[in-house]
Structure formats: C-alpha cells, structure tokens
Amino acid sequence: MSPLPPETIDRAVGALLKWHRRHPAPPSDNFIYLILSLVTTPHNGRPLSFRLPLPHSLFSSICIFTNNPPIQTQSLHPSPTILSLADLRSLYSSRESLVDLSNSFDLFLADRKIAARLPSLLGDAFYSKKKKKRRSKEPVPVNLSSPVWADKAREILGSTRLEMEGGHCKGVRVGRVSMERKEVVENVAAAIEAAVRCVPKKWHNIRSIHIKSNESVALPIYKEGGEEDEHDDVDLEEDKGSKKRKVLAEKLEGKELKTVKRAKR
C-alpha cells in the first residue's frame, strides 16, 4: 500500500503547473518528470528497463519509419505520419531538416527490419553519441510484420519508460505542462505505483520522490525517515547563466504543500 496521500501529489502538481503558467516552456520542452531516489541500485542480472502504464498518453503526434509503406494505421490514435527510407533520404538530408523533423512529432516508431539503418540516416538529431544513453526522440522498434503490431504501438503510446541502469536517481516522464492538472496527478500516481513494483524491496528502497520540469527545481512529495514535515511555501527557481527567475507558490489554493515522510525502520 502506498504511503503517499493523493492530495500531496495534487498540491505538488498544482504548484508546478501554476509556475509554468507564468513561465511557459517551449512545446518541445514541456515534459514533467517523476524523480525517484533509491537507497540501493538494482544488481546485475535484473531487468533494467520497464514500461509503466499511464492513464493519459504523453504523445499527441506520431511518426512511423518504414521501408515498405503503406501500412494499416486506422486503429491508431492519433493517426500517425508514415515516412519511408526514401522519404528520409530525399526530404531530410541536412541536419537542420532532421532537427525540424525531430521537433515535429512527440513519438517516433520504426519497423524493426530497418531500425539498424536509421542511426546513419537520422544522426545525432535523434540518437545520442553515448552508447548507453537513449534520447527521448530515438525511434522505438516495432515489428510491423506482426498482425498485432498496432496493439504494441498502443502499449507504447499509453506508457512511459523507467530505466534502472546507472546511479541512484531515476527520471521518468509522467506528463506535460499543457495537460490538465487532474490528468497529470493521475499519471504521477499511476507511475509511482508501477515504478515501486519494479524496484527491489519496493517502498523500503525508495529514499525520496520529487516532480519537476526541465525549467523548474524538483518539488518533494515523499521522503523516507522522520515525521511529516510541512512546507509553508515552495520555491521554484531557474538559474541559467545570467537568466534567473524565482516564483514563490505559497499556500496554494489555501493549502500548504506537504512532503510526506516515512518513519525510519
């Protein structure tokens, strides 16, 4: 059972969205992240990548790379744009055009048969130069020859990815600042529930949970140890070079934002 009250998530999401109404983010940079801090990281031999189902999709536009269009896409929503390898070579030969393509869609899928050929065509506009680092726009391979490929695509559309490899902090995309507050709250709650099931020792291995965007600091919604601590206000600050903004979200809607703490065992 989760020790995290739903109202705690709601207040944190409300504070974050309130800040973004004053400081809008570019459409391509408006994700909300769930940050999990673990006590210990998973050992080798355990699965390191998980899909967490979300009640509200993060993706409003899709592009599918395939070698043999057309494919049947009527059952997918939103309706995807189909690009062949020939389209990529003729229409997107420059890096600038590839960056524009990357920014034009929320999600990219690719026929598994051509997935290995895409890095040389799409370059660093889609793929990270670091072998173990995945970019958010890297095409997700799908077996388009399978009769149930659309079901797999819908699974991807209705989920987010948790990568367990690496250090103690794990970031998971759970919403967009353009979404309704209720939708973000429900996504955060669903992602926490699903993520904890993937973590060894479950809640006993969760040190803290925060939410943040690319432009904000992290808002705490759960912390292990001690008694419940009340925060009269939440500071959301951006400091990038000479540009600095600070917003004080105090007693949002008449209620103080609280960080839930769990007693030490």
- Which domain CATH number covers 66? 3.40.50.790
The domain boundary residue, chosen from 153, 180, 211: 153
Whether residue 85 is found in the same domain as residue 170: no
Q: Read off the amino acid at residue 232.
A: D
Predicted confidence at residue 44, as pLDDT, reads 63
Predicted confidence at residue 29, as pLDDT, reads 64
| CB 188 within 8 Å of CB 5 | no
Question: Per-residue DSSP letters for the chain?
Answer: ---S-HHHHHHHHHHHHHHHHHSPPPGGG-EEEEEEEESSPPPTTS--EEEEE-SS-S-S-EEEEESS-----TTSSSPPEEEEHHHHHHH--SHHHHHHHHHH-SEEEEEGGGGGGHHHHHGGGTS-SSTT---TTSPEEE-TTSTTHHHHHHHHHTEEEEE--SSSEEEEEEEETTS-HHHHHHHHHHHHHHHHHHSTTGGGGEEEEEEEESSSPPEEEEEESSS-EEESEEEEEEEETTEEEEEEEESGGG--EEEEEE---
CATH number of the domain within which 222 lies: 3.30.190.20
| CB 173 within 8 Å of CB 134 | no
Whether residue 78 is found in the same domain as residue 50: no
Predicted confidence at residue 43, as pLDDT, reads 67
Predicted confidence at residue 250, as pLDDT, reads 35
Whether residue 248 is found in the same domain as residue 210: yes
Domain-located, residue 1: no
Give the total number of structural domains in the chain. Answer: 2
Predicted confidence at residue 233, as pLDDT, reads 41
Predicted confidence at residue 135, as pLDDT, reads 60
The domain boundary residue, chosen from 100, 118, 153: 153
Domain-located, residue 108: yes
Closest CA to 139 of 155, 153, 121, 127: 127
Whether residue 194 is found in the same domain as residue 217: yes
Domain of 16 in residue numbering reads as 6-57+159-262
Please state the pTM of the whole predicted model: 0.78
Closest CA to 46 of 200, 201, 171, 196: 200
Closest CA to 107 of 179, 158, 56: 158
Whether residue 149 is found in the same domain as residue 176: no
Domain-located, residue 148: yes
Whether residue 113 is found in the same domain as residue 130: yes
Whether residue 76 is found in the same domain as residue 134: yes
State which residues of the chain have pLDDT below 50.
132, 226-260, 262-265
The domain boundary residue, chosen from 97, 121, 153: 153
